[in-house]
Amino acid sequence: MRAALLTGPNAPLEIVDDLDVEDPRAGEVLVSVKYCGICHSDVTVQEGGYAVPAVLGHEAAGVVEAVGPGVTHLVAGDHVMLTPLAPCGHCPACARHEATACPDALSFSMNSRPDGTSPFSRGGDMVYRGLGVGGFAEQTVVSASGAVKIPDDIALDIACVIGCAMQTGVGAVFNTAGVERGSTVLVMGLGGIGQAIVQGAQIAGASNIIVSDPVESRREFASGFGATHLVDPTSDDLAAAVADATGGQGVDYAFEAAGRAALVEQGIESTRVGGTTVMVGASPIDENVTINAAVLFMTMQKRLVGSLLGHCWPDRDIPLLLDLYRTGRLDLDGMISHRLGLSDVNEGIRRLHDADGIRTVLDLSA
């Protein structure tokens, strides 16, 4: 089958037509991927430090082709959303419904099954399944717990953005932060993740949503999703904008969604006494966050929390996100600015680098 393959650090993805996929093992499903969005995390893997060759793509939706032994909740023909963190269902973290702390789920997301194997191969050699899904291939095999059945009338080209952007962004607001009605929120970085945070904050009833991104078109998109104050960090004073919007208090919640450790520090500075900074962006591994100890104590009492995939539990949160979409409160269509065929995947990655639009969705049959 056809797939886009990462063969080395910073290499453009190579379109091949001879990728093999195994039959599903016990607890797995074979899925025909129909659509897959491109996320910055794909680019981070492309930049190096991960096993290759690999099939990236982790924001996908498709149709079940076959189920492995023991899979009872899905049958061939079911429409499914795929999630990058498929919970094992029986470890202590899963008992707490924390898929993002499940060791198996974390292992899947690091490009292979927990036993180190992959369902993909080429000419007999193993090909890794990037970020738990392998959505830049016409077919993939995933853990059945990572495939959530969705109603047939939900368009798969729209639904796919739930897989990463909406789970991560809306989940960070609902699950990680627990933003309350009337809260003030700051969002730094307005790619697919930041826009989803803005949408989540609007649904949660935030009164002020301050957004910051150097790209004007992205600030405008955020305004359409409910942002109330637009900041250009290259020319405006973010601290002054936050003070203006919050009567000098600082925001209740700050979200870092650009992947820069320095912005986490800016988030901590921007929050009120007792406010919460949520780190959603994936900063480079060699960047550190420096916090003065006093901010966590006495007069400051601030909180800093990391958020992986919005602390989502797929069977609970994917149906919730679909309900919000059906009832017109979550805008998925507006998240998709470009659509391309699989063979144009590198053009989609270029758009992401250029912050052109929001999400590019690949059509695996084109």
User: Which of the residues 64 through 83 are near ligand NAD (CB under 6 A)?
Assistant: none
Taking the complex as a whole, the smallest distance from the CB of residue 303 to ligand NAD amounts, in Å, to 17
CB 138 to ligand NAD: min, Å = 23
Binding track, positions 309-328, relative to ligand NAD; x by CB under 6 A:
x-------------------
In 3D space, the residue among 202, 62, 148 whose CA is nearest the CA of residue 320 turns out to be 148
SS3 105: helix
In which residue are the tokens 């069977």 written?
315
Q: State which residue has the least CB distance to ligand NAD.
A: 191
Stretch that binds ligand NAD, among 26-34, 145-153, 257-265, 328-336 (CB under 6 A): 257-265
Which strands form 184-188's sheet, in the order they lie side by side? 229-231, 208-212, 184-188, 251-256, 271-279, 303-306
Label the pairing between strands 359-363 and 336-341. Answer: parallel
> What secondary structure letter does DSSP report for 353?
H
Task: Compute the least distance from the CB of residue 42 to ligand NAD, in Å.
Answer: 8
Q: Which of 11, 91, 110, 340 binds Zn ion (CB under 5 A)?
A: 91
Residue 68, Cβ density class (10 Å: 0-12 exposed, 13-18 middle, ≥19 buried): middle
* Binding status of residue 60 toward Zn ion by CB under 5 A: no
Q: Is 358 in the site for Zn ion (CB under 5 A)?
A: no
Q: Which of 24, 87, 281, 348 binds ligand NAD (CB under 6 A)?
A: 281
Strands 28-37 and 139-143: antiparallel
Q: Of the two residues 62 and 348, which places its CB atom closer to ligand NAD in the complex?
A: 348
Give the span between the Cα atoms of 157 and 305, in whole angstroms: 32
Shortest distance, position 338 Cβ to ligand NAD, whole Å: 12
Applying CB under 5 A, which residues contact Zn ion? 39, 41, 87-88, 91, 94, 102, 164
